[in-house]
Amino acid sequence: MTEYDYWKIFPKMPKKVTIGDITVRDGFQHEEKFISTDAKKFYLEELIFAGCRDIEVTNLGNPFLMPQFKDAEELFAHVRSDRFKQRCTKKGVNYDDICFTAITIRKSAVDRAIEMKARGIGPDRVLMMVSTEEEHHYANAATTLPEYWKEAERCIKKCTDAGIKMCGTVSTIWGSPIGGATDLRDAVEFTKRWLEIGAHDIEHADHDGSASAPDVYRYFSMILDEIPEPNLHIAHFHETKRVASASILACLQAGIVFYEATMGGLGGQPANFLDDCPVKGTGEYYYEDPRYVGLVTLEDTLVQIDEMGIEHGWDVDRVLWLGRQLEKTVGRRLRSDAVINGRTLKEGHMQFARPGLKGKKEKLGEEPGQKIPKDWSPGAVLPEKYRPS
């Protein structure tokens, strides 16, 4: 007989997960209008009050290239302020449980993070990134891979000395938007390299929606076979074909416990246009239609995991409300379906019921809840040709 218990079929699937939010950084970096500093502060606060404990605050790279993040220090000063700490206490949030991350792709940004840390407003954690496909890596970091690995090694040592954790990202695991197909084994090796030089954890990234569920399951099974500590690994999926929820499910089945997402599925390459002015960003976009760029949505991912009965620590209804506010902030309909349709309600939507069912059942002499004719057998008799052999 078929086994009906999902956790027995996939015994590595967790009963509890952590979902980090990267809206204010990865989500907003792709927007071609400046998101106000007040709005960024609002979403940082509200995401934390809704249950987020791992959050990306900003990018500490050169604001000339990415002017969306010209307010980076003001945002960190805000989340490090006594006022915000007091608000956390009033909301029942343990401030010490929150991990604030900044993106620091190059050494200059790492140095900036360390200097901010010395002033009491720096991040708990920073992130550097390699791509297994070198053309994609060069487009992001303007270095060769060997050159970057040596830079990352030096930066990790400096961060460790300063009390800052380093996340090492491995990208183009399932394919590159520039170089095409990649080898999963390269990403496993790169993961080991990050840990070898002292990274605290690893973000495993599909940066262009190349992943398919079977390859996601295969890759993360390979990772956990080689490096079996699940708390080291973070799943990061971009959405270009509306299949990222299948990748999330494949991750769960493989045993991954850490995920990240953006509200509304925002995100993508750093913008090369802001408000009314072209900016450098990371150069030309490698896609043609911005409607099909972004990350897996926080709202839909939370609903998916919540309805599987997996513990996650978020207030789902508050996040759905927050997603509706974000659509007003960016000025367009975003990609979350859950924001519009909500959760699956066990009590249904009785306001849509057609009137008259009760009266018709009474007229026909049927009992309330009766679903088959009274003169039929209590259970269906399946024709023999359809029965299990």
pLDDT per residue as tens digits for the range 1-47:
678 899 999 999 999 999 999 999 999 999 999 999 999 999 999 99
Q: How far apart are CA 303 and CA 255, in angstroms?
A: 19
Residue 364, token pair as written in the block:
């026909």
Count of CA atoms in the C-beta half-sphere (13 A) of 84: 19
Residue type, 364: L
User: Residue 383: pLDDT band by 50, 70, 90 thresholds?
Assistant: very high
Residue type, 80: R
Name which of 143-147, 185-189, 240-244 the model is least confident about. 240-244
Distances in Å between the alpha carbon of 339 and those of 266, 270, 317, 336? 14, 25, 9, 6
Enumerate residues 6+ apart whose C-beta is below 8 A from 132.
170, 171, 172, 173, 176, 182, 183, 186, 187, 190
Burial class of 137 by CB neighbour count within 10 A (0 to 12, 13 to 18, 19+)? buried
- CATH class held by domain 14-341: alpha beta
User: Residue 287: pLDDT band by 50, 70, 90 thresholds?
Assistant: confident
Residue 177, token pair as written in the block:
């938007």
Domain-wise residue ranges, the chain: 14-341
Averaged confidence pLDDT in the chain: 95
pLDDT tens digits, one per residue of 290-348: 777 899 999 999 999 999 999 999 999 999 999 999 999 999 999 999 999 998 888 88
- CA torsion angle for 65, 131, 209, 263 (degrees, to 10)? -50
Q: Which residue has the tokens 């390459």?
A: 269
